[in-house]
Amino acid sequence: MSLSARAPRAARFPLWLLVCASLTALGPLSIDMYLPSFPALAADLGVDIGRVQLTLGTFLVGLAAGQAFYGPISDRFGRKPPLYAGLALYAAAAAGCALARDVEALMLWRFLQALGGCAGMVMARAVIRDRLEAHESARAFSSLMLVMGLAPILAPIIGGAVLGVFGWRAIFWLLCGASLLILLVVHRYMEESLDHASAMPLRLGRVLSNYGELLRDRGFVGYSLSAGCAQAGMFAYIAGSPFVLIELHGIAPSHYGFVFGTNALGLIAMSQVNARLVRNRALDHVLRGALLAPCAAGVMLAAVALAGTAPLPVLLAGFFVFIGSLGCILPNASALAMAHQGHRAGTASALMGTLQFSLGTLAGAAVSVWRDGTALPLAVVMAVCGIGAVGMRLVGRAGMQAQRPA
């Protein structure tokens, strides 16, 4: 069966969706797998850990910036050619990371690795939109959330095991090999999903016009930023929770992984609940209810932090509710944002990813820069993200209603 044929049930995990899941997994694997190696990496390169942490920042910047380039190319030439280029660049950059002799070179290779890896994220969303309508897309995105939730749990474990036996450079060789394997699978088993009869011309004026039209589309922007604000809260949590939980509340570093993993399991569970909820309910209705969770959790966290009493159980509960709710929010908001973009799914997927990762990078940076020795920066940023997600959903809904014929 051709990949462009409509699949009746995305939840069955057909082969094409497994390929999309592997493409989506490259991003979180690239972020989380080398985290345990930071001390060893710093010692080997002769720098402090703060400099090593910049390699993560450059990777996130690359993810945010790179996605915008792949969308228009994929709408013109198809989904597979950009994947070939992106995965080849990722593999070469991963090898460059493994061979890096100083932290500056590692930062450069990490940036290039992100530029290559983000192709898979863009194409996975575009292929799902090529194949499926809105409700089935939401269920397919929920399936991808399973991968997104498992990666933060498994990646540090795998990275730690590889580090202990072979050293930190072997982690990047492993990522290089994984990308080459995915490239082979894409070439062998993934059929082109773009209908070339509807391919869009690749002219700068046309590309800029498409991005301009998308930015003026309140439905697309509203739902994209609703998911982006919620995801930004997760980036804030990733940036700020080690300090809050380990340094302020004395959780052992070895136990911090259990907290991180528990929240990831909450995200996985809610993504599978969401796949059932959207079968017989309107996507926006499910999204509206789900957005109440991070908004309430963020406001609660900010309130206790402002009051100067942020007990550990309250913090853990707030983090769990906020992160777990993403399993419902991200699939539905993404499906709604892409619902009317079938004619330019690649461009829309690229812009959505750029907007969302830009918000995530800003949220993580805000927590890192605004440090006052308390949980307040993290709590306030998460609250702003939760409230912003609710507000952007209202913008998206209003935009969708305006598009409906009278």
Q: Cα(155)–Cα(30) distance, rounded to whole angstroms?
A: 8
In this prediction, residues 373-381 reach a mean pLDDT of 91
Taking Cα atoms as reference points, which of 361, 292, 346, 288 lies closest to residue 321?
Answer: 292
State whether residue 156 is helix, strand or coil.
helix
What is the pLDDT at residue 196? 67
Reported pTM: 0.78
Burial code (b: 16+ CB inside 10 Å, e: under 16) for 251-289 equals beeeeebebbbebbbbbbebbbbbbebbeeeebbebbee
What is the pLDDT at residue 2? 39
CA distances from 247 to 102, 244, 375 (A): 29, 6, 11
Confidence of residue 361 (pLDDT cuts 50, 70, 90): confident
204-406 shares the fold of 14-191: yes
Domain boundaries, the chain: 14-191, 204-406
Amino acid letter for position 161: A
Task: Indicate the Cα dihedral angle 145, 147, 153, 158, nearest 10°.
Answer: -160
Kindly give, in sequence order, each residue whose CB lies less than 8 Å from that of residue 217, ignoring residues fewer than 6 positions away. Answer: 340, 399
Looking at domain 204-406, does it have CATH number 1.20.1250.20? yes
Burial code (b: 16+ CB inside 10 Å, e: under 16) for 159-175 equals bbebbeeeebbebbbbb
For all residues of the chain together, what is the average pLDDT? 84
pLDDT in tens, 300-347: 999 999 988 778 999 999 999 999 999 899 989 988 998 877 677 778
Both tokens assigned to 389: 């997600």
Tell me the CATH number for domain 14-191: 1.20.1250.20
Confidence of residue 202 (pLDDT cuts 50, 70, 90): low
pLDDT in tens, 89-133: 999 999 999 999 999 999 999 999 999 998 888 888 888 877 877
Angle, nearest 10°, between helix axes 15-32 and 103-131? 160
Amino acid letter for position 230: A
pLDDT in tens, 242-284: 788 877 888 876 677 778 788 888 988 898 898 888 888 888 9
